[in-house]
Amino acid sequence: MSSKGKKWRILIVDDEENIRKSLRMILEYEGYTIYEAADGVEARQRLEEHPEIDLVLLDIKLPDTDGLTLLAEIKKQPLAPEIIMISGHGTIPMAVEATKLGAFDFLEKPLHRERIILSLNHALESRQLRSAFQDIKKRAEKRYRLIGEHPLMKNLTEEILKIAPTNATVLIEGESGTGKELVARAIHSHSLRAEENFVQVNCAAIPEELIESELFGHEKGAFTGATERQTGKFELADDGTIFLDEVGDMSLRTQSKVLRVLEEGEIQRVGSSKIIKVDVRVIAATNKDLKREMKDGRFREDLYFRLNVVPIYVPPLRDRKEDIPLLVDYFCRVFSEENNFKLKRFSPEALGAMMKYHWKGNVRELKNLVERLIIMNDKEVITIHDLPDYLFGEKELYLPDLKKAGTLKEFRDEAEKTLILYKLKANNWNVSKTAREIDTPRSNLYKKLEQYGIKIVAGAGEAVAPSAEEEGEESPNSTGQDGR
């Protein structure tokens, strides 16, 4: 990474004018923007006037202050500039003290051009990495925020803040899409391990034959395809937090090894007899009923009690629908910013309709819908007319029109037609898929389509239930056309 990728700003703090002039000539030739200060007062003034300064060349002896004191003061600032100390009478204890206080380097006078440029490049590369890390961290914190003012969410936040500073193992339970990962990240970010690694493992996504290698690592040659040593997730999370998502999908064999980590703090790589000590906080999550899984012999009882030291339940979205406007506004801001769109919003009528929907997929379903609507709509305000049909009257779709049913048979026919239309729409007008879902042969479904005058138009993605005067028109046959 080149330190010349941007116009870096450097402050030279030295009471010797000749030193400042000499450094200015060297650094301006290299393309840096230079500021000067002859003492501590001027240095503070320049830093206040130009908070964007990236690096300070700081003399250790100043007329009005000690350079080390000024170093410590500057380093207290958020995203403080890198500091390289310079001295004509440097000592090893002085250099060690400067390093402890946060100095990047310590240069002795007389200063040599090559040494100065090399130290500057390394310091500015370090700053660039720190700045990038801070940006990533801020974006992550913004993207992984827990949003909600409902009492259930306030209670959840209180629980997180209570347990986060401890080392207790946590089991997060809740339906799919409720935000269990966000809870795990919140616990980690408020813990004493916040500056260490947060390692996430989706236990359901890793094949059974690979999960032990993923969790505990393996040695070269441990199995076919193991061409080199691999560090496992538990080792990567040493001193930090490991998040075992979908922990209920682990095999019993893997469960026993995870139990050993929890009890002994020890792991063994696959293919190795060496025991490795790790200090890891374990947070697990599941949408399964682990008590039932234990009863059915699919989950170890001893592991359950080890994981369930502090249980946390994440409520479904339907239990806190009052938070939907807050969530929609948050997703609008995040997605508009990420895609460089003008900020969009949802009309009150659209929000009202969204608050009436059941949200089987919880916050994940809501998030995906908001993102899709923002991307696909050019309008600044997304209205109720832009919402997908499935948000409206899902339950009413099963109810036949009673005005058309004079007899019990007519009622049954009308109900059957209504169900077929609903299922066709849900399956994007795919007749084969619909037939499987309603458990009837495809040929029988075609007969029903003909009976009720429902036309499937090839490639058009629609079905038409004709009016009475259209009943004589041609209906689909059983040649295999299924509307795909």
Instruction: Find the mean pLDDT for residues 430-447.
Output: 90
Helical (H) or strand (E) element with 142: helix 113-143
Residue 480 has pLDDT above 60, yes or no: no
Q: According to the per-residue pLDDT averaged within each range, which of 8-12, 209-213, 429-433 is highest? A: 8-12
Q: How far is CA 376 from the centre of its chain?
A: 23
CA 334/CA 337 separation, integer angstroms: 5
- Give the pair of three-digit tokens for residue 479: 């040649």
- Give the pair of three-digit tokens for residue 294: 């234990």
Instruction: Give the right CATH number for 320-391 from 1.10.8.60, 3.40.50.180, 1.10.3720.10, 2.120.10.70.
Output: 1.10.8.60
Angle at 54 between CA 51 and CA 55, to 5 degrees: 115
Residue 166 has pLDDT above 70, yes or no: yes
Q: What is the residue extent of each domain of the chain?
A: 9-137, 151-313, 320-391, 396-470
Instruction: Find the mean pLDDT for residues 288-310.
Output: 95
Is 151-313 CATH 3.40.50.300? yes
What pLDDT does 411 receive? 83
CA 280/CA 233 separation, integer angstroms: 10
Instruction: Find the mean pLDDT for residues 304-318.
Output: 96
CA 157/CA 163 separation, integer angstroms: 10
pLDDT digits (tens, 9 = 90+) for 174-213: 999 999 999 999 999 999 999 899 999 999 898 888 888 9
What pLDDT does 413 receive? 85
What pLDDT does 163 receive? 96
Residue 416 has pLDDT above 80, yes or no: yes
CA 157/CA 313 separation, integer angstroms: 11
Instruction: Find the mean pLDDT for residues 213-217.
Output: 91
What are the beta bridge partners of residue 34? 10
Instruction: Find the mean pLDDT for residues 362-391.
Output: 91
Confidence class for position 469, pLDDT limits 50, 70, 90: very low
Tell me, what amino acid is at 16? E
CA 97/CA 99 separation, integer angstroms: 5
What pLDDT does 457 receive? 52
CA 251/CA 234 separation, integer angstroms: 17
CA 295/CA 11 separation, integer angstroms: 68
Q: How far is CA 110 from the centre of its chain?
A: 50
pLDDT digits (tens, 9 = 90+) for 121-164: 999 998 888 887 777 766 766 667 899 999 999 999 999 999 99
List the single range of 29-43, 91-105, 232-246, 292-306 with lowest mean pLDDT. 91-105
| Fold for the domain defined by 9-137 | Rossmann fold (3.40.50)
| Fold for the domain defined by 396-470 | Arc Repressor Mutant, subunit A (1.10.10)
Give the chain's radius of gyration (CA, Å). Answer: 32
Residue 2: how many CB atoms within 10 A of its CB? 9
Confidence class for position 327, pLDDT limits 50, 70, 90: very high
User: 214-219 long-range CB contacts below 8 Å, 24 or more apart?
Assistant: 215/254, 215/257, 215/258, 215/267, 216/257, 216/267, 216/268, 216/269, 216/270, 217/267, 217/269, 217/270, 218/269, 218/270, 218/271, 218/272, 219/269, 219/270, 219/271, 219/272
What pLDDT does 394 receive? 47
Helical (H) or strand (E) element with 215: helix 208-216
320-391 has the same fold as 151-313: no
Residue 360: how many CB atoms within 10 A of its CB? 13
What pLDDT does 142 receive? 67
Confidence class for position 396, pLDDT limits 50, 70, 90: very low
What pLDDT does 324 receive? 96
